[in-house]
Structure 1
Amino acid sequence: MTQLKTCCASIARSGFGTLQLPEAMLQDYKQIVDGYSAISHATKASFSFSQDTDGFFPFGAEYSSVEEHPDLCERFCYWPAHASKRKGFEFTRSDFFAAVEIFERQVSELAQELMDGICSEFGVSPLAPFRSASYVQLCVYRAQNASIERRFAQDPHEDGHMLSLIKPSREGLVLVRGRSLEPVRLLENEIAVLAGSLLTELSDHAIPAAYHAVLAPQKPVDRSSLIYFVNPNPEQMLTSFFRRQRIDLSRSVNARHTGFGNQPIQLL
């Protein structure tokens, strides 16, 4: 059994799996994580588009469950659907942005293969390409924010997507199993794959959403997490895995997206 098939079977069964990344993707990942600190505040302020959840967002702009309890990170989001609108910005010609573009193309192909494999596990047809509705997000947790007295840097939650592919730079990601916290330990070349609430809905609740959180560090350290959020193609009418009923996830997509403090998704 290939590692991709093993990962798909694990997600179908438990909502969680891991997958090895090729070296080229790892190099792009490292360039993104390492390059963030060199980006100026002025660039971040000018390249921020809240209406699209695109570009840079300051510390505390998103929350996982309670608005008054924001995630202890700043963010950079990249949607390929909005890329054509950003071509006039000098930042789009930076090495950092180029690495994000390359990584997004590669991870979108990987995610499509994963969804195809998950559909195969249930004997249903593959989903239409979803790259235009999905996006990359870099979360950056600064060492100075470790002094904030909280148990979690990101509160327990399930992601409002079909899949989340998560590559953290250090420990902190945990699966929440009832009252237990199960640390996600990855090899240097591995990425975690978590089922989200949309996949639970699409699978008629056969696939559990991976309830997870990020622990606040016990000592001041920087931490980053590069994530790919998979949303369904809004133009595809989906059919649920078991009941074989038509299901429109577009309302669920936006309800979950705005539930984290974001503006409604508007894709042209």
Structure 2
Amino acid sequence: MTQIKACCESIARSGFGTLQISDAMLQDYKKIVDGYSAISQATKESFSFALDTDGFFPFGAEYSGIEDQPDLCERFCYWPVHASKRMAFDFTRSTFFAAVDSFERQISELAKELMDGVCGEFGVSPLAPFRSASYVQLCVYGAQTTGCVRRFAQDPHEDGHMLSFIKPTREGLVLVKGSSLEPVRLLEGEIAVLAGSLLTELSDHAIPAAYHAVLAPLKPVARSSLIYFANPNPEQLLTSFYRRQSIDLNSTVNARHTGFGNQPIHSL
């Protein structure tokens, strides 16, 4: 059994799986998580596009269901659909940006292959390419966020996407299963794959969304997490996996996106 097949079966069964990433992706990942600290505050402020949820966002700009308990991190978001609008900025010629662009191209291909496999588990046709509706997000939890009274740096939630690919630099990511917390532990070359609420709806609730959170560290320590959020192509007419009924997820995509404190996605 290939690792893709095994991951597809695990997602179909439990909403969670793991995958190996290539050496090239791992190198891009390291350039991204290691390179963030060298980016100036001036660059972060100039390369921020709130209406597109693109570029840099300051500490506490997003939340996971509770508006007055923001996620304890800074963010960088990269949507390939907006890349052509940013080329006048010097930052797009940086090593960091090049690594993000390279990682996104590779993870989008991996995501498409995996989603095709998940569809195969249910005997339905593959989805249309969804790269233009999907994006990369880097969450940076600085050491200064420790020592707070909160248990979570990111409160328990399910992602409002089809699939989330998550690779953190250290421990903290947990699956929330009832009253228990199950730590997600990954090898250096592994990435976690979590089903989101859109995939639950598309599968007629056969696939559970992976409820998860990020624990606040007990000691002052920096932590980063690189994520790829896969959303369905807004132009595709979707059919649910079991009932074979037409399902329009566009409004749901926007509701989930804005529910985390983001601006609406313009194309939806």
CA distance in 1, matches of 2:81, 2:3: 30
Task: Please show how residues 70-219 of structure 1 align to structure 2 within 5 Å.
Answer: 70-219=70-219
Q: TM-score, normalised by structure 1?
A: 0.99
Q: Deviations over 1:164-205 (max 9, x none)?
A: 000000000000000000000001110000000000000000
Task: Please show how residues 45-84 of structure 1 align to structure 2 within 5 Å.
Answer: 45-84=45-84
Unpaired runs of 5+ in structure 1? none
The answer for the alignment partner of 1:36 in structure 2 is 36
CA distance in 1, matches of 2:98, 2:266: 24
CA distance in 2, matches of 1:212, 1:57: 22
Does structure 2 conserve the Cα–Cα contact (< 8 Å) formed by 1:81 and 1:267? no
Q: TM-score, normalised by structure 2?
A: 0.99
Does structure 2 conserve the Cα–Cα contact (< 8 Å) formed by 1:79 and 1:132? yes
Shift of 1:217: 0.4
The answer for the alignment partner of 1:263 in structure 2 is 263
Shift of 1:222: 0.4
Shift of 1:267: 3.4
Unpaired runs of 5+ in structure 2? none
Shift of 1:134: 0.1
Kindly tell me the number of residue pairs found equivalent between the two proteins: 268
Q: Secondary structure at the match of 1:147?
A: coil
CA distance in 2, matches of 1:193, 1:78: 19
Q: Percent identity?
A: 82
Q: Which amino acid aligns with 2:106?
A: Q
Shift of 1:136: 0.1
CA RMSD of aligned residues (A): 0.7
4+ residue runs over 3 A deviation:
none
Shift of 1:266: 1.4
Shift of 1:87: 0.5
Q: Secondary structure at the match of 2:146?
A: helix
CA distance in 2, matches of 1:103, 1:188: 16
Q: Which amino acid aligns with 1:252?
A: T
CA distance in 1, matches of 2:181, 2:147: 22
Q: Which amino acid aligns with 2:107?
A: V
Q: Which amino acid aligns with 1:203?
A: S
Does structure 2 conserve the Cα–Cα contact (< 8 Å) formed by 1:7 and 1:18? yes
Does structure 2 conserve the Cα–Cα contact (< 8 Å) formed by 1:163 and 1:194? yes
CA distance in 2, matches of 1:123, 1:109: 21
The answer for the alignment partner of 2:5 in structure 1 is 5
Q: Does 1:252 align with 2:252?
A: yes
The answer for the alignment partner of 2:232 in structure 1 is 232
Shift of 1:42: 0.1
CA distance in 1, matches of 2:44, 2:239: 41
